[in-house]
Chain A
């Protein structure tokens, strides 16, 4: 039996795999695509660590900034651990060969790593690799996994956890190529399946697959999720494609204008405030633009070459000459699988969760830019080590396969279900509904309407199904399973948002504009276990 089964092969999964293997575990990493396809590749800006390479900085300041941004909703011990681990995590990344951007300071090793300013940070703290920080970290992790002979099982879609008496025994997967449902037994499991911001389909910077599959699986298996209502919106994404235009566009002097050509907000305010200001303009039927024309073509090509190309391709405009139409969209899910100090899932022993799928309570009500890449690597290692420790004493008695039978039957059922409603239309509807009613500015009456609509969609779910009946390589089926997960998570987000009658960080309610001390707590949700 495998010691540590890792589900998800993004930055968090790969780091956990390397740490578990280093500790002595046998490891298998399973993912629905190939490791380097993961959303971690999209992170541009940087990864925080108080190295003080570009001016004075201290771990204590990093802790302070993170707590401030979390608006009282983080676990300060977890924040301290993450921030304190940051410098040695960079050291580790340096040792495996991450090609960070460098300073010219005649020094060696991590002391040469360049650092830049990101929003909400009191120092130049974000280590970066040009505008490809996530890409370069992810690929170096992958190369190192190949070096360490980590076993991968690609194109396997995680369906469910196998849990017996509250202990994780393995998981079931759909082999996307063959269509076969398989069971993999393991002594410990790590879930690293990424966030759920893709629920805002059409209104998110995230990749298609960020549908919260792991979060939904934990709920189904009787584990807890928390802080689901906290979703960070990025102020500047392209209007039609929702592709991210990085914060540096504003940092370098870009202006935000409405249809009347007026500036309406201080562009350098925190993400949530800028996003709200833009959303307000949009809901008054105005358009909002990012104006970088005054920077000039040469400077633009030097500072934001990726952005210029994306604008031309997706918006058909030249940012050197024209305004960039933008809108704020869902970017990061702070909430997720509820975990304890060891990153073990609340309610399921032997199952750990790390990365954007988990809620380790380091981001609270609002994530600080650059803290996510830190979390996936620093806590990725921690999860790997803890999962290995658990595996040493775990029982090796394999599960008898009830979940497997259930999941096989479920998939078979999907094939026979008549599809009279196109779920792709529903996916679009859900995204729009969430953006409008469970988005940047919330209101109880709207939230309740959204909940009704989601429940109506769930009721309809016996009418939706797949059109493509092929047994093998069926991506229509995968899209459907992903959508089902999004639909399962939707009410947890809405009901938590309804319950939180206050405004805090990314959660903003017009009926309750202030922070309320009574709500300085996490909303934890768990399904009643069927006996």
Chain B
């Protein structure tokens, strides 16, 4: 079986054994054919978030993708490529800091099974950066906080132990919830079935409740007597 890999200088083709995971195939190449092939991996069980790449233009975990033959494998988008499939994830991780996606003011709360369910999906996130790579906003705005950071923001604002959800909401107004086009690309590629688009939609609602407004909406309504129609939705 053949696979093609986008390397630093060119696309190279390799012959690998059939019906393996892509990660097993990458290791097979590195061990037997070309030790310089460079990629990232850890758990091989879809939980450490290390191995995401693009296969035929779609983000996949290498350890969870079964090769079928003739795939083109490329590094994640919007991440500086360090070598072959290995990328620099520091810039993407910075979005978590800017978002301040953590518990700001811890308070004791009564919690139930239902409360657990409220953020169960969001906290399945393995920080694989697939959604970041798939998000078209990065083509125009590299400072966008992005899907996984906003999902994490949502997870903390929804946590009943959070005594200061507003602090998070205030930090996701610029380059944040309103910059998303709600295209759903992030949701389509998430290997954990997380729906950042929905979380962002919810965060918009909460933002309005805390007195923020859709900046697109504000500029449109300013000077136009009839309230402008905002194609991006909002609440």
Chain A residues in contact with chain B, CB under 8 A? Answer: 33-34, 36-39, 41-42, 94-97, 99-104, 106-109, 112, 114, 129-130, 132, 135-136, 139, 143-144, 146-147, 154, 177, 207-209, 241, 243-244, 309-310, 313-314, 316, 422, 424-425, 466-468, 470, 472-476, 479
A112, B89: Cα distance in complex, Å: 36
Which residues from 8 to 39 on chain B have a C-beta closer than 8 Å to any C-beta of chain A?
A: 19, 21, 24, 30-32, 35-36, 38-39
Query: In the bound complex, do residue B48 and residue A139 qualify as a contact, i.e. CB atoms below 8 Å apart?
Result: no
Q: Please give the distance in Å from A496's CB to the nearest CB on chain B.
A: 28
Chain A neighbourhood of B79, CB < 8 A: none
A314, B100: Cα distance in complex, Å: 38
A212, B19: Cα distance in complex, Å: 32
Q: Please give the distance in Å from B131's CB to the nearest CB on chain A.
A: 15
Query: In the bound complex, do residue B45 and residue A310 qualify as a contact, i.e. CB atoms below 8 Å apart?
Result: yes
Q: Known contacts A132-B123, A424-B30; can you find 4 more A-B pairs with CB under 8 A?
A: A33-B50, A42-B48, A114-B113, A139-B127
Which one of A114, A244, A473 has the greatest number of beta carbons of chain B within 10 Å? Answer: A473
Query: In the bound complex, do residue B102 and residue A99 qualify as a contact, i.e. CB atoms below 8 Å apart?
Result: no
Query: In the bound complex, do residue A102 and residue B111 qualify as a contact, i.e. CB atoms below 8 Å apart?
Result: yes
Please list the 9 inter-chain residue pairs (A to B) with the smallest Cβ-Cβ separation, ordered nearest first.
Answer: A424-B31, A97-B103, A468-B36, A467-B35, A473-B83, A147-B102, A143-B102, A102-B116, A109-B108
Chain B neighbourhood of A135, CB < 8 A: 47, 124, 126
Q: Please give the distance in Å from A137's CB to the nearest CB on chain B.
A: 10
Q: Please give the distance in Å from A240's CB to the nearest CB on chain B.
A: 9
Chain A neighbourhood of B19, CB < 8 A: 316
Chain B neighbourhood of A466, CB < 8 A: 35
**Smallest Cβ-Cβ distance to A40: which chain B residue:** B48
A60, B102: Cα distance in complex, Å: 35
Q: Please give the distance in Å from A521's CB to the nearest CB on chain B.
A: 35
Number of interface residues of B (CB under 8 A): 60
Query: In the bound complex, do residue A108 and residue B116 qualify as a contact, i.e. CB atoms below 8 Å apart?
Result: no
**Smallest Cβ-Cβ distance to B108: which chain A residue:** A109
A425, B32: Cα distance in complex, Å: 9
Q: Please give the distance in Å from B90's CB to the nearest CB on chain A.
A: 7
Query: In the bound complex, do residue B115 and residue A102 qualify as a contact, i.e. CB atoms below 8 Å apart?
Result: yes
Query: In the bound complex, do residue B38 and residue A136 qualify as a contact, i.e. CB atoms below 8 Å apart?
Result: no
A422, B32: Cα distance in complex, Å: 8
Q: Please give the distance in Å from A251's CB to the nearest CB on chain B.
A: 20
Query: In the bound complex, do residue A39 and residue B42 qualify as a contact, i.e. CB atoms below 8 Å apart?
Result: yes
Indicate if B70 sits at the interface (CB-CB under 8 A): no
Query: In the bound complex, do residue A467 and residue B36 qualify as a contact, i.e. CB atoms below 8 Å apart?
Result: yes
Indicate if B159 sits at the interface (CB-CB under 8 A): yes
Query: In the bound complex, do residue A34 and residue B116 qualify as a contact, i.e. CB atoms below 8 Å apart?
Result: no
A101, B127: Cα distance in complex, Å: 21
> Assuming A33-B42, A41-B48, A41-B49, is B102 touching A104 (CB within 8 A)?
no
Contact of A34 among B44, B93, B161 (CB under 8 A): B93
A34, B93: Cα distance in complex, Å: 10
Chain B neighbourhood of A309, CB < 8 A: 46
Indicate if B224 sits at the interface (CB-CB under 8 A): no
Chain A neighbourhood of B38, CB < 8 A: 473-475
Indicate if B188 sits at the interface (CB-CB under 8 A): no
Query: In the bound complex, do residue A42 and residue B97 qualify as a contact, i.e. CB atoms below 8 Å apart?
Result: no
Indicate if B139 sits at the interface (CB-CB under 8 A): no
Indicate if B220 sits at the interface (CB-CB under 8 A): no
Indicate if B64 sits at the interface (CB-CB under 8 A): yes
Chain A neighbourhood of B30, CB < 8 A: 424, 475-476, 479
Chain A neighbourhood of B64, CB < 8 A: 313
**Smallest Cβ-Cβ distance to A113: which chain B residue:** B111
Chain B neighbourhood of A106, CB < 8 A: 110
Chain B neighbourhood of A129, CB < 8 A: 123
A102, B86: Cα distance in complex, Å: 39
Query: In the bound complex, do residue B44 and residue A112 qualify as a contact, i.e. CB atoms below 8 Å apart?
Result: no
Which residues from 63 to 109 on chain B have a C-beta closer than 8 Å to any C-beta of chain A?
A: 64, 66, 82-83, 86, 88-90, 93, 96-97, 100-104, 106, 108-109
> Assuming A41-B43, A466-B35, is B113 touching A146 (CB within 8 A)?
no
Contact of B50 among A37, A104, A114, A310 (CB under 8 A): A37
**Smallest Cβ-Cβ distance to A96: which chain B residue:** B103
Q: Please give the distance in Å from A151's CB to the nearest CB on chain B.
A: 12
A94, B35: Cα distance in complex, Å: 45
Query: In the bound complex, do residue B102 and residue A108 qualify as a contact, i.e. CB atoms below 8 Å apart?
Result: no
Query: In the bound complex, do residue B112 and residue A102 qualify as a contact, i.e. CB atoms below 8 Å apart?
Result: yes
Indicate if B120 sits at the interface (CB-CB under 8 A): yes
16 interchain pairs, CB-CB under 8 A: A39-B48, A41-B49, A42-B43, A94-B161, A95-B106, A97-B102, A99-B116, A101-B116, A102-B116, A104-B113, A108-B108, A136-B123, A143-B101, A143-B156, A473-B82, A475-B86
Indicate if B41 sits at the interface (CB-CB under 8 A): yes
Chain A neighbourhood of B197, CB < 8 A: none
A97, B107: Cα distance in complex, Å: 10
Chain B neighbourhood of A39, CB < 8 A: 42-43, 48
Chain A neighbourhood of B100, CB < 8 A: 147
Digitize B136-153: 1 where CB-to-A-CB distance is under 8 Å, 0 elsewhere: 000000000000000010
Query: In the bound complex, do residue B31 and residue A422 qualify as a contact, i.e. CB atoms below 8 Å apart?
Result: yes
Indicate if B125 sits at the interface (CB-CB under 8 A): yes
Q: Please give the distance in Å from A236's CB to the nearest CB on chain B.
A: 14
Q: Please give the distance in Å from A473's CB to the nearest CB on chain B.
A: 4
A476, B36: Cα distance in complex, Å: 7
A172, B206: Cα distance in complex, Å: 48
Query: In the bound complex, do residue B36 and residue A37 qualify as a contact, i.e. CB atoms below 8 Å apart?
Result: no
A71, B37: Cα distance in complex, Å: 46
A475, B125: Cα distance in complex, Å: 26
A241, B64: Cα distance in complex, Å: 12
Q: Please give the distance in Å from B2's CB to the nearest CB on chain A.
A: 20
Query: In the bound complex, do residue B41 and residue A473 qualify as a contact, i.e. CB atoms below 8 Å apart?
Result: no
Q: Please give the distance in Å from A485's CB to the nearest CB on chain B.
A: 17
A106, B112: Cα distance in complex, Å: 7
Chain A neighbourhood of B24, CB < 8 A: 241
